[in-house]
Every structure is written in C-alpha cells, then in structure tokens.
C-alpha cells in the first residue's frame, strides 16, 4: 500500500487533497519525495510565517523539547507568561491573554468572554453576536454558525447554537443590533471569504458606535495577525481599539497555538474556561521565537520592503492578463479574482505542475500567503513559475 492509498484507507476524507508528498522545506521553498522544488506562496495557509526550518525556531523548539514539552495549566508556565507579555506589548493594547490550540478555539473563547460580559454587565441578559457575510470564524459547531457563509451551515450538523446572525456589509449591522446584542465580530480582511479588506472608515465608525453603546467589538485576527498585513495586528493598521482580539495561524510558525486577548482583564474566574494543551511549553516557546524574528524584520524595515515588492510583482502579473478581474488584499495577504471556479482550479493545478503552491478562497479568488521572511529572489522565481502556469489559461 503506497502513501496515498494508506491515507485514503485510514484518514477521514475531509480534504480535497493534492497527494504531493513534501519531505523537506527551507525558507519559502519545499521539496517533494522525488526532489522537485516548489516555491511556497501558501505557507500552510498563513501558518509558516517565518518559513520552513527557520534556524531560530528550530533552536527554540529543540531546546524546549529537551527540557519540558508539556505540563498542566494548573502550574506556572514560564514561556506562556513571557509570550503573553510579548504579544500584549507588540499589540499596544492593555489586555490579558488566554492561550488555546487553534483559531476556532480562540474564537470560542472570544464568544464566551462576550457572553459572560452580556450576562454580568446589563439588566437583561445579552448574548447575540453579529457577524458579516463572507466571514469565516472556524469549524466548531459554534464558530461555524458564526461564519457568515450559508454553505458552511449544513443541516447534517444541525441544530446550531442560537444567537448568531450575519449581514451583508457593515452598514447593515446597525439595524441588526437589538437589546440582546452583546458583540459584533469581524475580520478586517476576510480571508476565506475572498481576501477582501473592510473599509477603514466604516470600521472606525462602527468601533466608535459600539463603544458608545457598550457593545463589544471582537476582531478575528486568526489570519491577519502577527504582521501578516504589515503591522503586528490589522487592528493597528485600522487604528481601532477592539475589546477582544483572536490570534492563531502565524503565531506558532507551524506549532499549533491560538490566543484570545481582551481589555476585560478580569472577566473570567478560575474554572470559567480552560485548555489541556493550550499555551504549553512547546507552543509558547515557538511563539516567542516567531515574534522575536518578525519583530526584528518589522523594525529593520525588511518586512515593509517585502510587502511592497510582492505587491508590485503581483500587480504586474495582474496587469498582463485579462483573466484577472481585480487584485485584493493587504500586506502579504493577497488575492486575484478570476471569472470562474473552473479557471481558478486550473490555475492552481497548473501552478503545482510548475512548482508553485497557491491557494483558493471564496468569490473565485486566487490567494497568496507567502511567508513573511520570503526573499526577493524567491518572489521573482515564484512569479516566473506563475506566468508559466498561466500560459494557455489567460
């Protein structure tokens, strides 16, 4: 039985897999078992933020696994406390942090914070959470209900929790608020929904309105956070002060981790929330290494140069081919819209054949999420291969 057959025989069929078997990575490059090289413009869906096999991440993980990988959260965990301090300081907000294992878990934590706030801060219980159409907030029963895409709300998994609604654009949110609304949850750039940035002025006006009404603003930064859009948080870029922020993907550089941050620093009491694995020695040691690498890239100006260069190359390709309807996104979270899902699938397949990994997103969008440490030479080579993949399609 070969590896593909083994996977099909024993792993639940939840993914439309490409069965390329990668065996090694370095920076923004990957190699399969046959020795073929690929330029990685996906970084594990924005997870490998400092690329593959980064020496500082390897060093941090190696040192930690030689001492302690995991203990219970009933004891003090040194790198957890230090990572909480690091991300709070980098955010610029006065918050405390709870660590989980994924973005969905972080968003679950955010919803629990909001609902306890709604229970304890109002005369009548408030529990409703409003989200936006095309949003994506996770795959748990609760976070999938919070996701503003009907295609995710399969009756196979019903009934879903009550108290969630989604609306087409920020302007519609105001009318949806009632005396049971406790929070509005948004992504500043909708990743799975088509790499679509929200309008900055509309977001700022919403944030101000919610603050006046005592309604919480939750910003899902699972994909946008940890310098993906150029600042540590997209919230910094939008110049707002959310009540709750969630992080995951790029924070651990490939090691599973999630985090929920809130200004309501005393909202939870012991026993209100918890996680067996969340914030353990391994994941938070990895997170510290990632943050230190990316902070250095940001402060040196290298990150900004990379963002600008990647955007320039992407726009150059987009202008050369009529097939692209629009280029969208911020920072190193970019997308190109195409006319149909069939064309999108063909481009992704052709790109793999040429040794380039790209992704799809909603609204027929080709998605680019390279590592934040990708080099200009790797960007150039990636787009050279991309142009070859477009031959015969555009």
Domains of the chain: 57-299 (3.40.640.10), 301-371 (3.90.1150.10)
Sequence-ordered list of residues with C-beta below 8 angstroms from that of 84, at least 6 positions apart, any chain = 96, 97, 99
Q: How far apart are CA 110 and CA 118, in angstroms?
A: 12
Cβ distance 222 to 247 under 8 Å?
yes
Residue 36's CB is within 10 A of a number of other CB atoms, namely: 12
pLDDT of residue 141: 97
- H or E stretch covering 114: helix 103-120
Question: Given the structure tokens 């709604």, which residue do they identify?
Answer: 118
Rounded to whole angstroms, the Cα distance separating 257 from 279 reads: 7
Joined together, the tokens standing for residue 138 give 């996770």
Radius of gyration over every alpha carbon of the chain, rounded to an integer in angstroms: 21
Alpha carbons 104 and 121: distance in angstroms, whole number: 25
For residue 66 the two structure tokens come to: 């030689």
List, in order, residues 6 or more apart from 299 with CB less than 8 Å away. none
User: Cα–Cα distance between 149 and 86 in angstroms, integer?
Assistant: 34
pTM of the entire predicted model: 0.97
**Strand-pair partners of 260:** 98, 246
Of the candidates 135, 304, 350, 93, the residue with the CA atom closest to the CA atom of residue 223: 135
Per the CB < 8 A criterion, the answer to whether 322 and 369 are in contact is no
CA end-to-end span of the chain: 39
How many Å apart are CA 30 and CA 346, to the nearest integer? 21
Closest CA to 350 of 332, 327, 372, 366: 366
State the Cα–Cα distance between residues 108 and 151, nearest whole angstrom.
20
Nearest to 200 by CA among 231, 179, 164: 231
CA–CA separation, 291 vs 89, rounded Å?
11
Taking the mean position of all CA atoms in its chain, how far away is CA 243? 19
The angle subtended at Cα 31 by Cα 52 and Cα 57, nearest 5°, is 15
Quick check: 102 and 139 in contact, CB under 8 A? Answer: no
Q: At 139, phi and psi to the nearest 5?
A: -115, 0
Tens-of-pLDDT digits for all 394 residues of the chain?
999 999 999 999 999 999 999 999 999 999 999 999 999 999 999 999 999 999 999 999 999 999 999 999 999 999 999 999 999 999 999 999 999 999 999 999 999 999 999 999 999 999 999 999 999 999 999 999 999 999 999 999 999 999 999 999 999 999 999 999 999 999 999 999 999 999 999 999 999 999 999 999 999 999 999 999 999 999 999 999 999 999 999 999 999 999 999 999 999 999 999 999 999 999 999 999 999 999 999 999 999 999 999 999 999 999 999 999 999 999 999 999 999 999 999 999 999 999 999 999 998 999 999 999 999 999 999 999 999 999 978 6
Q: What is the dihedral of CA 283, 367, 331, 384, to 10 degrees?
A: 110
Residues 6+ apart with CB under 8 A from 245: 91, 93, 95, 218, 219, 221, 225, 233, 235, 260, 261, 262
What the block records as the tokens of 209 is 């309105």
Edge-first strand order for the sheet with 359-361 is 326-330, 333-337, 365-368, 359-361
């Amino acid at each position: 039985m070969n590896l593909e057959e083994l996977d099909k025989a024993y792993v639940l069929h939840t993914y439309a897999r490409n069965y390329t078997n990668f065996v090694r990575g370095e920076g923004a490059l990957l190699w399969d078992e046959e020795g073929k090289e690929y330029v990685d413009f996906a970084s594990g869906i924005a997870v490998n933020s400092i690329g593959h096999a980064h020496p500082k991440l390897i060093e941090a993980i190696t040192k930690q696994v030689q001492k302690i990988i995991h203990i219970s959260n009933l004891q003090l965990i040194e790198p957890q406390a230090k990572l909480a301090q690091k991300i709070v300081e980098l955010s610029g907000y006065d918050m405390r942090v709870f660590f989980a294992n994924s973005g969905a878990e972080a968003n679950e934590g955010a919803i629990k914070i909001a609902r306890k706030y709604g229970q304890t801060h109002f005369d009548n219980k408030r529990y409703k959470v409003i989200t936006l159409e095309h949003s994506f907030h996770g795959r748990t029963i609760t976070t999938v209900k919070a996701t503003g895409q009907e295609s995710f709300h399969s009756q196979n998994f019903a009934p879903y929790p009550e108290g969630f609604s989604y609306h087409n654009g920020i302007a519609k949110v105001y009318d949806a608020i009632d005396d049971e609304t406790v929070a509005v949850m948004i992504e500043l750039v909708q990743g799975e929904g088509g790499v679509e940035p929200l309008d900055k002025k509309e977001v700022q006006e919403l944030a101000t309105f919610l603050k006046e009404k005592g309604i919480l603003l939750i910003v899902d930064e699972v994909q946008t956070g940890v310098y993906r859009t150029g600042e540590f948080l997209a919230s910094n870029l939008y110049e707002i002060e959310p009540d709750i922020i969630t992080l995951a993907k790029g924070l651990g550089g490939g090691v599973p981790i999630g985090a929920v941050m809130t200004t309501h620093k005393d909202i939870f009491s012991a026993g209100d929330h918890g996680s067996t694995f969340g914030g353990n020695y391994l994941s938070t040691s990895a997170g510290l290494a990632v943050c230190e690498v990316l902070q250095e890239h940001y402060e040196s100006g290298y990150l900004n140069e990379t963002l600008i260069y990647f955007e320039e190359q992407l726009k150059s390709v987009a202008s050369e081919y009529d097939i692209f309807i629009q280029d969208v996104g911020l920072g190193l979270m970019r997308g190109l819209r195409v006319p149909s899902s069939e064309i999108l699938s063909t481009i992704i397949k052709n790109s793999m054949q040429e040794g380039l990994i790209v992704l799809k997103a909603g609204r027929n969008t080709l998605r680019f999420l390279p590592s934040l440490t990708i080099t200009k030479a790797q960007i150039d080579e990636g787009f050279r291969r991309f142009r070859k993949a477009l031959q015969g399609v555009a």
